[in-house]
Amino acid sequence: MELQQKYLEKLHIEKTLVDVYTDYFEESTYGYIVKFNDDFLLLEQFTSIGEANGICIIRRENITRLRWEGNDISTTERFVLKEKRIQNLFDIKIDNIHEALKSVYEKFGYISLDIQNIDRGMCIIGQIEDMDNDSIVIYEFGTYVSLDRKKLLINISDISKIEAGGDYENNLKEIYTKK
């Protein structure tokens, strides 16, 4: 773990664009490391063509690889628009899952949760209705097609990734807050 810690610190300090792999979930995420601890990694994420894509908090236990440098990542980094970067990301707390959920929700007004251990494609987007040590109630945003809101109770321990700030999620929030 010491080597991983060493390189996470180096990549964070040098503001290096990284590609974070969670192979079990067949995902790869480009981003800049905002902060990390033993349990979580907070990334300001970008698409593979450098478009801002909000933030994500990944459980470190799910990370299988980090990649940086090389033509692909260097090209992506050239397209990252500095003026589209999200401000004040250090305000997001990642000391534990509950603080992460609350601080992301407070900053963005909604939250996107991946429940990948159950279903790799399961993503819930909405507003936090209630939460205790074990469970969270989300007032879901429906899809563009359904626009159907409902409430969902899930186990916090099943959450594999927290996201917010992406265009799709921001657009859903705008639709639902105008109603």
**Tokens read off for 86:** 């999200």
pLDDT tens figures, 83-136: 677 778 889 999 999 999 999 999 999 999 999 777 667 789 999 999 999 999
Q: Which of 43, 35, 48, 33 is nearest to 80 (CA)?
A: 48
- Average pLDDT on 25-52 reads 92
Is 81 a residue whose pLDDT tops 90?
Answer: no
Residue 80 contacts residue 86 (beta carbons within 8 Å): no
Is 139 a residue whose pLDDT tops 90?
Answer: yes
- Distance (Å, whole) CA 179 – CA 175: 7
Mean pLDDT of the chain: 90
Residue 137 contacts residue 152 (beta carbons within 8 Å): yes
Least confident of 55-64, 104-113, 121-130, 155-164: 121-130
Which of the pair, 11 or 50, is modelled with greater confidence?
11
Is 179 a residue whose pLDDT tops 60?
Answer: no
Model pLDDT, residue 94: 97
The three-state DSSP-derived secondary structure of the chain is CHHHHHHHHHHHHCCCCEEEEEHHHCEEEEEEEEEECCCEEEEEEECCCCCEEEEEEEEHHHCCEEEECHHHHHHHHHHCCHHHCCCCHHHCCCCCHHHHHHHHHHHHCCEEEECCCCCCCCEEEEEEEEECCCEEEEEECCCCCCCCCEEEEEEHHHCCEEEECCHHHHHHHHHHHHC
Q: What percent of the chain has pLDDT over 70?
A: 96
Q: Provide the β-strand partners of residue 85.
A: none
Is 169 a residue whose pLDDT tops 60?
Answer: yes
Which of the pair, 177 or 153, is modelled with greater confidence?
153
**Tokens read off for 140:** 């879901």
Residues 6+ apart with CB under 8 A from 7: 66
